[in-house]
Amino acid sequence: MKIPRNLKGEYLAEILCRQWNYQIVHQQGSHIILETESPRHQRISIPNHSPLRVGTLNSILRSVSSHKGITKQDSLNQL
């Protein structure tokens, strides 16, 4: 599956909260800060841009899939 090219940062943050147990901690400037304690602590920053750049989205999905122990394809399927 190809990486979406029209994904908003705010939408990605909502999906990560709903599907992967992340919580919005706060927003600093144009970046939404998320964190999770499952399976261990992780904090990530999501730019609230529309659309997200492909490289930025790829990096975020790689980080989430590595932390959660899933494939990047599984995380793409949730979008």
Instruction: Provide the residue ranges of all domains of the chain, joining segments of one domain with +.
Output: 9-73
Q: pTM here?
A: 0.90
DSSP state, residue 30: T
| Domain topology for 9-73 | Double Stranded RNA Binding Domain (3.30.160)
Confidence at residue 23, expressed as pLDDT on a 0 to 100 scale: 97
- Which residues lie closer than 8 Å to 49 by C-beta, 6 or more apart? 8, 9, 30, 56
- Per residue in 26-52, pLDDT (tens digit) is 999 999 999 999 899 999 999 999 999
The pair of structure tokens assigned to 50 is 């529309």
Q: Positive or negative, the Cα torsion across 4, 31, 68, 19?
A: negative
Q: What is residue 17's three-state secondary structure? A: helix
Q: Report the interhelical angle of 9-20 vs 54-68 (nearest 10°).
A: 10
